[in-house]
Amino acid sequence: MLLAAAASLAVTVLPGVAKAAPDPAAAEATSPQEATELVAAANDQLEAVTEEVNDAQVQLEEQQAAAAAAGEAVAAAQAQLAALDTQIRQVARSAFTGENLGHFNALMTSGSAEEFLAQVNMLDAIAGHTDDVLAEVAAASAVAQEAKAGADAAAATAQQTLDQVTAKQADLTTRITDYRSQFAALTAAQQEEVQQSQAGPALPAPGGSSASRSVTAQAAGPVPAASEAAQVAVDTALAQLGDPYVWAAGGPNAFDCSGLTQYAYAAAGVRLPHSSAAQSRMGTAVPRSELQPGDLVFFRSPVSHVGMYIGGGRMVHAATFGVPVQVTSVDMAGYAGARRFAA
């Protein structure tokens, strides 16, 4: 019966980032063991693609913010141009049009040489000021043009990124459908093997924590963090134990890996993007030997999975399809580093 289930597994997931295993895009299982390996590889790919989509969405938001900032810079430069234009007109009118500041008028109206020199010096000062204002206007115009070009480029990049994200989302939807079919074709024992290979063995939560425990109760548990923010993040993450894994979910009742860490740190007032790759570029790098509760630990290259260290060699993470948020060992394969977000 196992062989029949495995043989029916015609895997169609496209290539992606995966650990060493048969290519699920080109292989068909011929044994229960190979079926298990193929589904595990497919899950690796799915999580990698999910995190790529998450990261692309983060980049899109950043580019849109840049475009908006550039637009504001254009508006500010244009306002400055308008103000300087008025100033130029006033200076020009004062210097050259009937306010008795010309050299000839100064000569004709001066009662002494000293008065003549004083009026000429005033005229030269106004002329110099006019030159300064004109230079400032030219600089403001250049800034406005540069800001406008930047805004246009940022908008174009944002649109391109949006198109790419949309395509990835459509592809991901197909992958998820395929993966669920493949996973359902496995026996219960094979499903458990796949889940453990992706999520690690489930370990007891600190102090007998369970999904039903509140954040307040968790705070009294034996997971001391080095800062208040890290403590809130750890307690919040542990309070989600038992919540289901859903691709691209960010809570409050379902999570993917980066959605869980984002949600936990948001409770502590620390804003993180919904992307394990983006999170791995933030904060402060921490050696593995110096991990503290609240540090985020990252896996695979390029990074496509993240969990939160809770002390004692354990982490809490939203692991994989079919596995709820759980505590497991930080010693999972593919460890890629750690970052600290709350000192």
Say if CB 318 and CB 255 are below 8 A apart: yes
Q: What is the mean pLDDT of residues 108-126?
A: 55
pLDDT band, very low/low/confident/very high, at 219 (cuts 50, 70, 90): very low
Question: What does the longest C-alpha to C-alpha distance in the chain come to?
Answer: 119
Known catalytic residue: 317?
yes
Of the segments 74-83, 85-94, 125-134, which one has the largest average pLDDT value?
74-83
Q: What is the mean pLDDT of residues 7-24?
A: 35
Residue with tokens 């509760």: 293
What percent of the chain has pLDDT above 90?
28
Q: Is 90 exceeded by the pLDDT of residue 86?
A: no
What percent of the chain has pLDDT above 70?
63
What is the reported pLDDT for 155?
77
- The structure's pTM equals 0.61
Query: Which of 199, 234, 261 is the last residue in one of the domains?
Result: 199
Catalytic residue among 103, 129, 274, 305: 305
Alpha-carbon dihedral sign for residues 185, 242, 333, 168? positive
pLDDT band, very low/low/confident/very high, at 142 (cuts 50, 70, 90): confident
pLDDT band, very low/low/confident/very high, at 54 (cuts 50, 70, 90): confident
Q: Which amino acid is at 45?
A: Q
Catalytic residue among 103, 129, 274, 317: 317
What is the reported pLDDT for 206?
77
70-75 own/partner pairs: CB under 8 Å, 24+ apart: 70/147, 70/148, 70/150, 70/151, 70/154, 71/151, 73/143, 73/144, 73/147, 73/150, 73/151, 74/144, 74/147, 74/148, 74/151
Q: Is 90 exceeded by the pLDDT of residue 203?
A: no
For residue range 268-312, list pLDDT tens digits in order: 999 999 999 999 999 999 999 999 999 999 998 889 899 999 999
Query: Which of 183, 199, 215 is the last residue in one of the domains?
Result: 199
* Count of domains forming the chain: 2
Q: What is the mean pLDDT of residues 189-213?
A: 67
Say if CB 272 and CB 341 are below 8 A apart: yes
Known catalytic residue: 129?
no
- C-alpha count within 13 angstroms, C-beta hemisphere, residue 22: 16
Residues 181 and 259 in one domain: no
Give me the CATH number covering residue 179.
1.10.287
H-only helix segments in 239-343: 257-267, 276-279
Distances in Å between the Cα of 275 and the Cα atoms of 12, 173, 304 are 26, 18, 8
Residues 187 and 56 in one domain: yes
Residue with tokens 């977000």: 341
Residues 166 and 218 in one domain: no
Residues 146 and 231 in one domain: no
Residues 26 and 165 in one domain: yes
Residues 23 and 72 in one domain: yes
Nearest one of 80, 84, 83 to 130, comparing CA atoms? 84
Q: Name residue 171's beta-bridge partners.
A: none
- Look up the domain containing 65 and give its range: 1-199
Q: What is the mean pLDDT of the chain?
A: 74
